[in-house]
Structure 1
Amino acid sequence: MDLESVSVDDLIKGYKEDDTRQSYVCLTCEQAFDKQEVFQVGERWFMAERAVEKHLETMHPHYFDTLLKDQANYNKLTDKQQTVLTYMYQGASDKTIADALSITPSTVRNQRFSLREKAKQAKHFLSVYEQAQRSAQKTPSETMVSVHKHATMVDERYHITEKERDQTLQTAFLSLEPLKLKHFPKKEKKKIVILAKIAEYLDRGERYSEIELNHQLAMIYDDIATIRRYLIQYGFMARKKDGSAYWVQK
């Protein structure tokens, strides 16, 4: 899930409206519901927006938990705060929460107050930032590339502008269609750009064996082991511990 492409309301609902595709898209699994179609759920038929809501209810009933624990790079809540929020979501009283956590009801009230203050701070910052973004006349050289969801460590390596990305793609690849890498650079920023492009080329819904993945990577670059290792290291791909399956992280 790319946080820059969705609004707070989208995150709360669990889906977004995609004007380009004329559909509603589930944020968890990215299934799209075309606005021009009706969808059968059980014995009933629903228009697209109601269908994606029913989809969330049936296929992702624990969306709140996913939202609470997802996006580790941005989720700065403590374990206790996450637990309190979970009980709040369930409608638990202060006493119920206190008994469950072996704390006093007054401590629970303090936690609620702290969370409410965090929400106010976030709301204020978001409004100020959005105003600044809307008034700024951005150019490709200034616009930052979004950090991918499963980045293992977000630091200055990910401070990449669209202009830097485009320049790297032009110089590092012999061609983009088909994808042919000329050389794998030493600079970390450039590695990230190249790995993102390779991950984009691979099928996100596919579970590759090591042989199958090697076959795909061999068509892009001859040093298969290096590319495969960095795709895992930077969080673009994941694999089973025994190496029997590899997949692109969604």
Structure 2
Amino acid sequence: MDYGTLTIDEIRNGYRYDESEKAHVCNYCGRRFPAGQVFPMGDRYFEPEFAAREHIAAEHDGSFCKLIEGGAKYNTFTDTQKELLGLFAQGLSDNEIASKLGIKASTVRHQKFTFREKAKQAKYYLAVYEEVFGEDGSRRKAEDIVDIPNTATMMDDRYVITEKERERILKSEFETMEPLRLRHYPLKAKRQVVVLSEVAKLFDLGRTYSESETREMLSAVYEDYSMLRRYLVDYGFMGRKKDGSEYWLK
């Protein structure tokens, strides 16, 4: 999921409304709750938006858990900060948190103050960004940088790719785009990022693929499917079980 396309509320709630499909969609697994339907959950029935909320709570342990542990490159919280936020989320008092962590209540209050100041800073930064680039980033040009995948494992110049560069790389590295067929696997890291980003689009978010399914899909793109699969995992586009029996899009 590209967090850059979501509003703060959509990130916080864990689901979004897809106007084209007329459905509420889970950010984490892609499950859809189309308008005009009701969804049974336990012994109750829910309309789409409420069903999405219940789904987040039941299947993903609530949005807070996914936010605090996810976000990849955007999640800069330390383990200590995550623990504190979890205790704050439980509604515990400063004294109760201090007792649990073996620290002073004043230390807890200072950390709470720090969180609040960072939130103010983030709001100010966002206001300036939206004034320059537009609320949805729509004031973009072909020279603008392509969005970095949320799950990127290596943050360096290999991700500094303009839209024009991306289009040029796609044309040179792929024989055809439909069906997707790779000429050869590039040696340069920047080109690898573009290639892997395109290959990853073949997989659906929220679906788990067996090893044989993954092999079949990737071998249609490139003969050395095992290398392609390895780099998809290494670059953070896909996850897999330790034994390699299942794969999924991150």
| TM surpasses 0.5 | yes
- The question of whether the paired residues in 2 share the 8 Å contact of 1:38 and 1:45 is answered with yes
- How far apart, in 2, do the equivalents of 1:138 and 1:27 lie? 24
- The question of whether the paired residues in 1 share the 8 Å contact of 2:2 and 2:150 is answered with yes
In the alignment, what sits opposite 1:138?
A: 140
Between 1:48-57 and 1:94-103, the stretch displaced more is 48-57
In the alignment, what sits opposite 1:24?
A: 24
Structure 2 unaligned runs (5+)? none
- How far apart, in 2, do the equivalents of 1:56 and 1:237 lie? 21
- The question of whether the paired residues in 2 share the 8 Å contact of 1:169 and 1:193 is answered with yes
> Relative to 1, partners in 2 of residues 1:192 and 1:25: Cα closer, same or farther, differing over 3 Å?
same
In the alignment, what sits opposite 1:2?
A: 2
Quote the RMSD (CA, aligned, Å). Answer: 2.0
Structure 1 runs of 4+ off > 6 angstroms? none
TM-score (norm 2): 0.90
Superposed, 1:1-250 pairs within 5 Å as: 1-134=1-134, 137-139=139-141, 141-202=142-203, 204=205, 205-209=207-211, 211-243=212-244, 245-250=245-250
- How far apart, in 2, do the equivalents of 1:124 and 1:163 lie? 31
Map Cα deviations across residues 6-50 of structure 1 (whole Å, 9 max, x no partner): 111111222111112111111122111112323233343332212
Size of the aligned set, in residue pairs, is 247
| Structure with greater contact order relative to length (CA < 8 Å, sep ≥ 6) | 2
Map Cα deviations across residues 125-180 of structure 1 (whole Å, 9 max, x no partner): 111111211188422x2233222222111221111222221221111111111111
Q: Which residue identity does 2:119 align to in structure 1?
A: A
Share of identical aligned residues, percent?
40
Structure 1 unaligned runs (5+)? none
- The question of whether the paired residues in 2 share the 8 Å contact of 1:237 and 1:246 is answered with no
- Following superposition, the deviation at residue 92 of structure 1 comes to 0.3
Secondary structure at the counterpart of residue 207 of structure 1: strand
Secondary structure at the counterpart of residue 238 of structure 1: strand
